[in-house]
Amino acid sequence: MTTALFSPFMLGDIELSNRIVMAPMTRNRADKDNAPHSLNTKYYQQRASAGLIIAEASQISPEGVGYPATPGIYSEKQIAGWRDITDAVHNEGGHIFIQLWYCGRISHPVLLPDHQTPVAPSAIRPEGDAITFEGPKPYVEPRALSSTEITTIVSQYKQAAKMAKNAGFDGIEVHAANGYLIDQFLRDGTNQRTDEYGGTVEKRMRFLNEVLDAVCEIWPGNRVGIRLSPENSFNSMSDSSPEEHFAYFIAQLNPRHLAYLHILEGDMVTKQRKVNYRSLRDIYNGTYIANNNYDKNRAETALDKGDSDLIAIGVPFIANPDLVYRYKNNLELNIADQNTFYGGDEHGYTDYPFAN
């Protein structure tokens, strides 16, 4: 097998040193102002040998928050914290995009300004509990957004895209996956609107299209990526025909000539893969990033078969800051400590050993 895993790759006008992408992973280690700080800088700098880092999901406004201690990209303090991170990654020769996030119904009033009710396309309560500073709390029934409010959120995406440029990122990824607000509009299990934002696939995609139009006023299309998750049931998500509907969504993305399409393949909850992802990959004319439980062998096979152009790796990057070096030299990997995935200090974050 000849692998392209360690070969350079042109992502638009950016030359990546390899085809290994560090996937965006929420680590809940921002400060009290939801701003990145020096510990976060060290974490990303340690992992800058990835061809591309997609930084953790970052809310575009205070109303977009869904979890404790997650970073934002809407205040000057947050921009300054992110600037330290992007400078550190660039000094190591790496590249970094930021993932723009609005949680929607996956939130709780205690996390939102003035204890607001979370919003969604439709007033459908997700199952389970929100994670808050006060411990788990049952999700509440969200409030359906008005058309005017949707327009406001689109403007927040545009402002966040501008902030990301000011913070020195190489590009942005629009988070339209895993049960958060844009995904809630895309899938018919959560979008039961009867106005211009719901019903047909065309109308369910309208919000995403408006967001992409807005951020592409700030960034050229080849610096804007998008993440989708056609069949992921995480966060109480469902769709009546995911392969058919996402084939449509993906085809509509082609004229935009985006930096990449990043797909979470399969279901994080059931661990099943019922959608034909090669079919979806073939519909898309640009760079395709595959994600979800890839290791070195699966990554090499996917690249060799043409199933993907880049491979996004998650958990192995948590425990192995030098993952690219370890993969390249066939070295044993550190095992990730799941107890330290979310929240805490440097333990399980920046203290994993390097191989050399």
Task: Give the active site residues.
Answer: 180
Cα–Cα dist 128/136, whole Å: 9
- Give the phi and the psi of residue 59 in degrees, each rounded to 5: -65, 145
Alpha helices in the chain (DSSP H): 38-46, 76-91, 147-166, 181-186, 201-204, 206-215, 242-253, 277-283, 296-305, 315-319, 323-328
Length of the chain: 356
Cα–Cα dist 288/138, whole Å: 36
Cβ atoms of residues 182 and 102 within 8 Å? yes
Which residue's entry shows tokens 């993305």?
Answer: 253
Cβ atoms of residues 304 and 278 within 8 Å? no
Q: DSSP for 35-95, please give it.
A: ---HHHHHHHHHTTTSSEEEEEEEESSGGG--STT--BSSSHHHHHHHHHHHHHHHHTT--
Q: DSSP for 304-335, please give it.
A: HHTS-SEEEE-HHHHH-TTHHHHHHTTPPPPP
